[in-house]
Structures are given as C-alpha cells and as structure tokens.
Amino acid sequence: MEYEREGFVQAADGTRLFYELLGEGEPPVILTDGIGCDGFAWRYLAPRLARHHRVIHWHFRGHGRSGPPEDFARLSIEDLADDLKRVCDELDATRPVIIAHSMGVQVALEFYRQNPNGVAALVLMCGTFGRITTTFHGTDLLDQLLPGLMRGMRMFPGIARAVWGRVPAAMAFRVACAGRELDAERIQEEDFHRYWEHAALMNPEVFLPMLEHAGRHDARGFLADVDVPTLVVAAEHDTFTPMSLAEEMAGAIPNAVLEVIEGASHAAPVEQPDLLGEHIEDFLTARLGLGRSRP
C-alpha cells in the first residue's frame, strides 16, 4: 500500500513529525499507532477506510520517519496528544475521527481531554484507558521490571543500544504464535516482521521512557465526560491488553459501543481487517449519519 502524499509537521519543541495521506472525504480519519509501531496495524485498514475518508496516518516522535525528539523530556502521553494537535492543525483536520490502536488509545483519549470540541468520534481498539504497565498480560510485572531497565539504560546507554532488538524477527514470530500472542492462522509473517524490525531499530532512550509515561497516565477519571460517539474494539485473545479492560472502558464511556473480535489477538487489525473495517464503517454510518456513496 502506498499513500498519495506525505510531509512533515513541526512539533512545539521543533521535532519533525511525519504524516501520510490517502483518499478523500469528510470527516477525516486519523490513524494513531501503538508504541514501537509505524503503521503495522493499518496496512489493510487504511485503504479500506480511504474509500470514504481522507485518511491521515502519522508517526510518533522517535518512531518511523518522524525525527528523534528535540527534547527527550517530552515523551509523555500529553506530549504525544499535543503532537497530534499539531498534525490536525497543519492538515486542517478540525473534527476528525480518531482511530487508535494499543497505546494510541491513551493518546486518543488525552487528545479528547485537551480538545473536547475537536473530535467527531473515537474508535479505540486493543487498548485501555491508562497505566498499561500495570495490566500487561494481566499482571503488574512489567511495572516492577521497568525501573531496573531504565536504570540500566541510563548507566550503560551504549550497551542498551547494542542489545536492543537483537532477537531475530523469524524467531520472535514463532515464539509469539506458539504462545498464542498472535493468531497464527490469520496473521501474515511478513506483517509481523515489519513491526519487529521497526521496533528493533528504535532508540531505547525513546521507547522505555515513553512506556514509563504510559504506565503513569490514566484517563479513567474523565471517561464519563467523553461526549462523542465511541466504538471500543476488544480482541478475544488479547494478552497484551486483557479484554476486561476494554469492557470496563466501554462501560464507563456514555453510550459507547463494544465490539469483540472473536479469535483475534492484540494484532487484530492485521489479522481480521475486513471484519474490523466493516464494524468501523457501520459504526460511523450509524452514529455520524455518513453514507457510502463512493465506490
């Protein structure tokens, strides 16, 4: 899949933020990744959504084709939401539909908190409202391990960069499928390789602090104030973000719709893109009164 146009936006601290565009139609749809991703989740969904919408996909700071942070102290969920606002302003996306995956769900919710009149609808998939390091695999083990990883990275940054992402993609794929972290029958190995190879190239001095910030951010307190159409998508076998969290989030957001993708893992958007695309299109048609006039 190739996008039709691409460019860069300057963040508040001067960081260059990459974006790419596909299709036409209002309201625009903005695709927001999870941590460590540069479009892995949207390979099949983006062209489907572009039949009816102007699709905007952007890269977090320090991810993909965006530049490294000019200020490494600005890696919080609040900073990423501000980056998203810069992208919206640059591309005249005044009231977009924000479709978010994994940690991007926190960014989408924070963006809504900062700009409650600047969102047409939210589609929140395979993610939760906050503190992701305390719920990974249903435990707080990651939250306990992260401080030690952070200390090691700061004490030995050269070693951290050298060992980061050394596990071969093919081996990681086999382990993930064997452990049912992925739906082996539906996901394409090449799609997983794209994700793994990007994550392996990331600077741990971006990844780990960003993960730490995500572990502190919590949108639970304002879920009841979300006043736009919201679709919450849960994957039946999501071990990264247990389905119970999606159920809790959907229950806390007024009039939210919950869709459960049976048999899917955390990678549901690339495992079952046709079904997920149909759910999204039906939701937007019903809740925003959109037609499907374009072929």
| Residue 145 is assigned to a structural domain of this protein | yes
233: left (phi > 0), else alpha (psi -120 to 50), else beta?
Answer: beta
Domain count for the chain? 1
| Residue 294 is assigned to a structural domain of this protein | no
Tokens of 102: 């994994």
| Residue 266 is assigned to a structural domain of this protein | yes
Range of the domain at 106: 5-288
Please state the separation of Cα 63 from the chain's center in Å.
Answer: 12
Tokens of 230: 């919201």
Burial class (CB in 10 A: 0-12, 13-18, 19+), 294: exposed
Q: How far apart are CA 66 and CA 190, in angstroms?
A: 23
Work out the number of other CB atoms within 10 angstroms of the CB of residue 78.
17
Q: What is the pLDDT of residue 293?
A: 43
The answer, as to whether pTM is greater than 0.85, is: yes
Contact 98, 108 (CB under 8 A): yes
Tokens of 293: 């006039």
Q: What is the pLDDT of residue 291?
A: 53
Give me the amino acid identity at 76: S
Low-confidence ranges of the chain (pLDDT < 50): 293-295
| Residue 58 is assigned to a structural domain of this protein | yes
- Here the CATH number for the domain that contains residue 107 is 3.40.50.1820
| Residue 95 is assigned to a structural domain of this protein | yes
| Residue 265 is assigned to a structural domain of this protein | yes
| Residue 293 is assigned to a structural domain of this protein | no
| Residue 258 is assigned to a structural domain of this protein | yes
139-179 tens-digit pLDDT: 888 889 888 888 888 887 776 776 677 778 787 778 778 87
